[in-house]
Amino acid sequence: MKIALAIAMAILVSVGAVAGVYLYDQFQASPPKTSSPSSGCSDPATINSHVYNPERLQVVKSCITASGIVDNVIDEADGDVHIRLSLDPAYSNLTNSANDQYQYGDLVVEIICVNIPTQADATAPCQNYTNQIPIPIVGEHIIVTGPYVLDRAHHNWAEIHPVYSLVNPSLTTAVSVSQYVLNIRYSSGTYDGWLGPSPRSYSANVTVSGGDQFTDTITLYSTSSSVQNITSIKVTNPGFSLVSPSSAITFGPNETLSITLTIQTPDTNYDGPLYLQIVAS
């Protein structure tokens, strides 16, 4: 009886231990999450190579994107511009107790080598580098991208340092093209010929920043049994222009051609169709 009781108690203790491990594993505290890296997170200008004494920065994530309102902009002796950013709620987990104590709860954002450094150890790293990041003003809502670090030299407060990109979304423009409308005029003066009737449309799915160029392809089929030409293509939407093709396009008998268009967009917002005027033989 005593042996059976001892065995039963041992089993209970073992089960309790396993349950305890399971519960501990399920409910132990997790480290705070940071924002997900942006798909456009990169350092094309190799800005990071101009950070002085980089060992003072503990890298938590190699690149993140965050947004918020600029609370303060400060020029520093190392040539950097120190920005206090009051984060949007989605990014509030990026700050820590040191940010609360020393930076009014804001995330520190550093644009490096903006001014000529007066701090000796920051002089050499800023040589041969010219800052291209825009400097925001207080009250501006911005989106910043760069390494997420802890500044070991300043109480381990959290920073984005250095800034790889900074934009004010209210100042950016976007162009979206939903379809191409082809108006084909033939040398005979008609709008129905070897490329078919017009106007007619092709679906498109293009979105770029205003002022950018983009390329896209349209496919046309010649119903003629002889050689024919498109002599010119023009975008008739105000502010848009066709960069290429700029020369005539020749179709063989009953030939199908894919024509790659390079189009310059205006630095304005636009969402709608793109009108192409085609002159054909």
Q: Is the pLDDT of residue 57 over 60?
A: yes
Mean pLDDT, range 83-108, rounded to an integer: 97
Instruction: Look at residue 170 in the predicted model and tell me its pLDDT.
Output: 81
Q: Is the pLDDT of residue 130 over 90?
A: yes
Checking DSSP bridges between strand 256-264 and strand 241-244, what pairing results, if any? antiparallel
Instruction: Look at residue 15 in the predicted model and tell me its pLDDT.
Output: 37
Alpha-carbon distance of 130 to 175, in angstroms, equals 30
Identify whether the C-beta of residue 85 lies closer than 8 Å to the C-beta of residue 144.
yes
Residue type, 118: T
Alpha-carbon distance of 146 to 166, in angstroms, equals 9
Confidence of residue 10 (pLDDT cuts 50, 70, 90): very low
Mean pLDDT, range 230-257, rounded to an integer: 96
Q: Among 94-98, 99-103, 179-183, 205-209, name the one with the lowest average pLDDT.
A: 205-209
Q: Is the pLDDT of residue 247 over 60?
A: yes
Confidence of residue 209 (pLDDT cuts 50, 70, 90): confident
Mean pLDDT, range 68-84, rounded to an integer: 97
Q: Is the pLDDT of residue 34 over 90?
A: no
Instruction: Look at residue 36 in the predicted model and tell me its pLDDT.
Output: 38
Structural domains in the chain, CATH included, are 47-170 (2.40.50.140), 174-280 (2.60.40)
Identify whether the C-beta of residue 108 lies closer than 8 Å to the C-beta of residue 151.
yes
Identify whether the C-beta of residue 150 lies closer than 8 Å to the C-beta of residue 156.
yes
pTM score, two decimals?
0.54
Q: Is the pLDDT of residue 18 over 80?
A: no
Give me the phi and psi of 9, to 5 degrees please: -65, -40
Higher pLDDT pick, 267 / 120: 120
Confidence of residue 29 (pLDDT cuts 50, 70, 90): very low
Name the H helices within 70-202: 97-102, 120-126
Mean pLDDT, range 107-128, rounded to an integer: 97
Mean pLDDT, range 241-270, rounded to an integer: 95
Instruction: Look at residue 2 in the predicted model and tell me its pLDDT.
Output: 41
The tally of CA atoms less than 13 A away on the side-chain side of residue 133 is 31
Q: Is the pLDDT of residue 9 over 50?
A: no
